[in-house]
Amino acid sequence: MNGFPPILAEINNLSKDQITWLLYSAKRFKLGVVPVGKYQISDSHHPIIATSFLENSTRTKHSFVIAIQKLGAMYVDFNSETSSLKKGESLEETLLTLRHQGVDLCIIRTSISHQFDEFKKNPPVRIINGGDGINQHPSQALLDLMTFIDDGGDVHGRTVAIIGDCIHSRVAHSLMELLPQFGCKIILAGPEECLPKKLESHFDSSMFYLTNDTEEAILKSDFLYLLRIQKERHSGPAAYYDGYLQKHGVSLARLENLKEQGKISTIPLVYHPGPANVGVELDHALLKSQYYRAHGQVANSVYMRMSIIKAMLMNLGNNVSSA
């Protein structure tokens, strides 16, 4: 595949065709059409891929590591805590150093929003954004789209309600760029403090709806996508946190009541990027129910990340800095 960018910092780095290819390729990995464990990205080059998680992670880091190993690439775990970043070396110099050691691609998570903006024109090495602050988490949104399609078919004409701390969610920001391209509408729901005051002008407003009413969001949507309140990104205690589950969260009983009242015909599938705060945005009964699909998202994450890595490495030699 030609033209895949050397840096995946945000969804808008990809064309719709490229996203469609990623979905197709991930599905082939999932179905076993391409044998995992034997697949080599190149016969002549044994790629080296590093991860650098400057902020904690369970799902993203380990699914990338598994994806790397299933692709038969070499893996380097770059430990920022014991690196020269702690002596004040810049991220650019660090990545150039890794590149000259032979690293082809680096997957980076950082707490700094837009940290990759400086690399857009001249990336020191191929980069996949594993989540930057509150800005973007493109691989999560792509695996979420894959899971929606696996579960419900074409998303065109469907609606996803993203419920919770939307303004602090990098996943929400990536989904907002991704889903409307495929004809899927988005409802952003949550307390006023968690919703944008207004949509940025580049969004097509006909594809979005904002509400503080969780029940309205449930009634108007096909899929529910719950978000954690990201207390670590708030400047102080959030007043809306007490009683959140009853007012803004989703419990199994709440969904069953809506069905019994005839307000919904079926209980919708519920997604979550994780980690979930049980007792806040959802209850334990919903977490353990057949409607909760977070483990399906996690399972798909390996295949989607294999697909992204493959696409980026098939362009070896293109577009990275000559420094």
Any contact of residue 140 with ligand CP (CB under 6 A)? Answer: yes
Stretch touching ligand CP by CB under 6 A, among 112-120, 154-162, 272-280, 288-296: 272-280
**How does strand 105-110 pair with strand 48-53?**
parallel
| Token pair listed for 120 | 């857009």
Any contact of residue 3 with ligand CP (CB under 6 A)? Answer: no
3-state SS assignment for residue 159:
strand
- Tell me whether residue 28 or residue 59 sits nearer to ligand CP (CB atom): 59
| Bridge partner list, 74 | 48
Stretch touching ligand CP by CB under 6 A, among 55-63, 68-76, 175-183, 186-194: 55-63
Any contact of residue 279 with ligand CP (CB under 6 A)? Answer: no
Any contact of residue 60 with ligand CP (CB under 6 A)? Answer: yes
Contact with ligand CP (CB under 6 A) among 34, 36, 57, 276? 57
Any contact of residue 123 with ligand CP (CB under 6 A)? Answer: no
Any contact of residue 59 with ligand CP (CB under 6 A)? Answer: yes
Contact with ligand CP (CB under 6 A) among 131, 164, 190, 191? 131
| Token pair listed for 260 | 């019994």
Distance of alpha carbon 265 from alpha carbon 285, whole angstroms: 20
Contact with ligand CP (CB under 6 A) among 6, 47, 164, 274? 274
Distance of alpha carbon 80 from alpha carbon 162, whole angstroms: 33
Any contact of residue 157 with ligand CP (CB under 6 A)? Answer: no
We find the least distance from the C-beta atom of residue 129 to ligand CP, in angstroms, to be: 11
Any contact of residue 164 with ligand CP (CB under 6 A)? Answer: no
- Tell me whether residue 91 or residue 294 sits nearer to ligand CP (CB atom): 294
The structure tokens 């399906």 sit at: 296
The 3 state secondary structure assigned to 12-42 is: HHCCHHHHHHHHHHHHHHHHCCCCCCCCCCC
Any contact of residue 58 with ligand CP (CB under 6 A)? Answer: yes
Q: Say how many residues touch ligand CP, by CB under 6 A.
A: 10
Any contact of residue 69 with ligand CP (CB under 6 A)? Answer: no
Judge whether 13 and 5 are in contact, CB under 8 Å. yes
We find the least distance from the C-beta atom of residue 286 to ligand CP, in angstroms, to be: 18
Distance of alpha carbon 164 from alpha carbon 28, whole angstroms: 33
Helices (H), the chain: 16-31, 59-70, 91-100, 138-152, 170-178, 214-219, 244-247, 252-260, 284-287, 294-313
- Tell me whether residue 42 or residue 58 sits nearer to ligand CP (CB atom): 58
89: Cα separation from own chain's centroid: 28
Q: How far is CA 274 from CA 132, 175, 215, in A?
A: 16, 15, 22
Stretch touching ligand CP by CB under 6 A, among 24-32, 207-215, 268-276, 285-293: 268-276
We find the least distance from the C-beta atom of residue 214 to ligand CP, in angstroms, to be: 22
Q: Which residues form the interface with ligand CP (CB under 6 A)?
A: 57-60, 131, 137, 140, 273-275
